[in-house]
Amino acid sequence: MMQIKDSFFKLILMVFYHSKFKFQVNYGDFNPKRTDPYFLIGNHASLHDGLYTATFLKRYPYPVINAFMFIHKSMKFVLKRLIYSIPKRKGQSDISTIMEMMKVVKKGRGIMLFPEGNSSYFGKESQIPYATVKLFKKFKIDVVICKTNGAYLSAPRWGDKSTHKGLMQLNFKVLFKAEELENYSLDEMYDILTKEMAFNDFDWNKQRKYLYKPKYRALGLENYIYVCPKCLSHQTISTNKNDIQCNRCGKIAHFNQYSLIEGLDFDNLVDWDLLQKRQLPNILKEEVHSQGLMYLVDTMKYKSYKLGHVKTKIDKGSLFAKTDKETYHFNILDISGLTLTKKNEVSFDYDQKTYLFVLKDPMLYVDLIHYIKENKGNG
């Protein structure tokens, strides 16, 4: 029954993803028909990585998924009933997750893991926890990597629409063999892992020169890019089709046929993000407002409870959230477990409770909270 369900679900994924994107796959020394337990890891270029990767494997490993994905009823059904998934809270050590992974391996199934935790914000790799290589040592099974190029340019995390027939190149190889793990030190493994996981889709396509020919590439970027590089104002960015605009400067840039940026001193979002992060001290000189929806989350039952529409403000090291019924005051230094899930869901722990905000300016708020915490409130 399990095999029939897996085959049916994989068929649906194949029809969906292979009609939307163009795939080029190199299996290298990896056998996609293998059925023994192994770690399958990959760079996390898009929100779709685990799903389209599964279509190229005879028996896909069970994925480790951000626990906040389970609070959505439809996703919980998919992740529990259609494609069994292991919940993990990003940035937190979770013994129950490790135990569940052990059960999966003992039953003869592999584990799919994206060590970065979060899919890429701006087309480049993010930091990988050192604990990842300790995990490999503990389990003593093969570690296979699927390195992907082009997925971010085809379907960036913030994008409202993906690019039809965008190119995704998948390169599989066995990174560590089980019997060789004991020959590596943790530092050696971590060095190999970080080098193999590194990617930058913008640099890649400067060399590859694939014509993505996007029609609506810029849509949604205003949720992650919050500073205009011309006038340095914040929360003034808007988008239309491939165009990027500032409500003070007018059209400032656009995505070209290669999904690279034209009109600015840089051609990629990695550099744009570095620019906007340098402006955080100036942004914090005044109140920063946003709005959206606010939820209280039960992390044990994976349920969320809507608190209502919320108006938010970051001012003097505090986050204020006002609903129709109540005003909440969060000292930012006491916030922990800050996570950005999906496109615009900002969650954190505070005073033994977990809150989730669906915000209009998710990246700005995440960056500001990180900056204030890193500077101990003196930003």
| 204 and 97 in a common domain | yes
| 171 and 112 in a common domain | yes
Query: Does 148 map to a domain?
Result: yes
| 273 and 292 in a common domain | no
| 359 and 227 in a common domain | no
Query: Does 291 map to a domain?
Result: yes
The pLDDT assigned to 172 comes to 99
The pLDDT assigned to 71 comes to 78
Instruction: Sort strands 353-359 and 318-322 into parallel, antiparallel or unpaired.
Output: unpaired
The pLDDT assigned to 9 comes to 82
Comparing CA positions, the residue from 343, 335, 322 lying closest to residue 370 is: 335
Query: Does 317 map to a domain?
Result: yes
Last residue of a domain, one of 278, 299, 323: 278
| 228 and 83 in a common domain | no
| 247 and 201 in a common domain | no
| 232 and 141 in a common domain | no
Residue 160 Cα to chain centre, angstroms: 15
| 242 and 110 in a common domain | no
- Output b/e per residue, 120-152; b: 16+ Cβ within 10 A: bbbbbbeebeeebbebbeebebbbbbbbbbbbb
Q: Which tokens sit at 164?
A: 């039809």
How many domains is the chain partitioned into structurally? 3
Tokens 């029939």, located at residue: 4
Query: Does 214 map to a domain?
Result: no
The pLDDT assigned to 217 comes to 98
CATH assignment at residue 7: 3.40.1130.10
Query: Does 215 map to a domain?
Result: no
Last residue of a domain, one of 278, 299, 314: 278
Query: Does 213 map to a domain?
Result: no
Q: Strand, coil or helix: what is 273? A: helix
| 291 and 272 in a common domain | no
The pLDDT assigned to 93 comes to 56
The pLDDT assigned to 212 comes to 98
Last residue of a domain, one of 208, 233, 257: 208
The pLDDT assigned to 1 comes to 53
Query: Does 37 map to a domain?
Result: yes
CATH assignment at residue 338: 2.30.29.30
The pLDDT assigned to 95 comes to 86
| 23 and 60 in a common domain | yes
| 317 and 294 in a common domain | yes
Considering the entire predicted model, what is its pTM?
Answer: 0.94
d(CA 61, CA 186): 24
Alpha carbon separation from 32 to 35, 38, 146, 221 (Å, rounded)? 9, 12, 11, 36
Domain enclosing residue 324, as ranges: 286-374
> Per-residue confidence of the chain (379 residues) as pLDDT tens digits?
567 677 888 899 999 999 999 999 999 999 999 999 999 999 999 999 999 999 999 999 999 988 777 777 666 666 666 678 888 876 555 788 999 999 999 999 999 999 998 999 999 999 999 999 999 999 999 999 999 999 999 999 999 999 999 999 999 999 999 999 999 999 999 999 999 999 999 999 999 999 999 999 999 999 999 999 999 999 999 999 999 999 999 999 999 999 999 999 999 999 999 999 999 999 999 999 999 999 999 988 888 999 999 999 999 999 999 999 999 999 999 999 999 999 999 999 999 999 999 999 999 999 999 999 999 866 5
| 292 and 242 in a common domain | no
